[in-house]
Amino acid sequence: MAHRIGYLIGSLASDSINRTLARALVRLAPPSLELEEIPIRGLPLYNRDDELEPVEAVTEFKRAVESAEGLLFVSPEYNRSIPGALKNAIDWGSRPWGHNSFARKPSGIIGASTGAIGTAVMQSSMRSVLSFLNAPQLNAPEAYITFRPEVFGADGEVHDEGTRDFLAHYMEEYGAFVERVLSLTAPGHVGDR
């Protein structure tokens, strides 16, 4: 049975290159993973005053994160950091205190940019945030994708063999990581005693 993986796209733009990258990752995922987007567009700005009685969009978002067996973050880098919409979603998902929806979710971070260093600085920031949220992370291979329009089709097809092989390898490694983490965090595992 395939593991349910929720993926979050850090850009809200409908024509985002990271949305195109996400389509490619869905297409290249191994059969052990079933990927579904967890949308972040409808979330209001995080406000602690609204934590205990959140709007339906927040409740649905937290429910989607909690029902996923793993999470994949596909995101650009804005001003050398995490895009505001994605950080806002993370803030909602981690609150109120004691109700962190991200805890123990095997997570992967990948991103595309037109620049040569991809999304390295954003990913470094994300690693700090996810560590604080107790979300185990795939640390290798790292994936900083330099986006070239001729390589990626809008439907998720990858036209360059080297890029396609790398992304397929990344998804295989992420799938193996999900298996390892879930085998250690399953209820009744010896580490729980």
Q: How far is CA 158 from CA 27, 80, 117, 145, in A?
A: 9, 27, 20, 12
CB atoms within 10 A of CB 166: 16
Residue 150 is predicted with a pLDDT of 95
Residue 115 is predicted with a pLDDT of 86
Q: Which domain holds residue 183?
A: 3-192
pTM: 0.94
Strands (E), the chain: 3-9, 33-37, 70-74, 107-113, 144-146
Residue 11 is predicted with a pLDDT of 97
What type of residue sits at position 106? P
Do residues 122 and 76 lie in contact, with contact meaning Cβ atoms separated by under 8 Å? yes
Residue 193 is predicted with a pLDDT of 35
Residue 46 is predicted with a pLDDT of 97
- The count of domains in the chain is 1
Per-residue model confidence as pLDDT tens for the chain (193 residues): 899 999 999 999 999 999 999 999 999 999 999 999 999 999 999 999 999 999 999 999 999 999 999 999 999 999 999 999 999 999 999 999 999 999 999 999 999 999 888 899 999 999 999 999 999 999 999 999 999 999 999 889 999 999 999 999 999 999 999 999 999 876 654 443 3
| CATH number, residue 59 | 3.40.50.360
Query: Could you tell me which residues are beta bridge partners of residue 3?
Result: 33
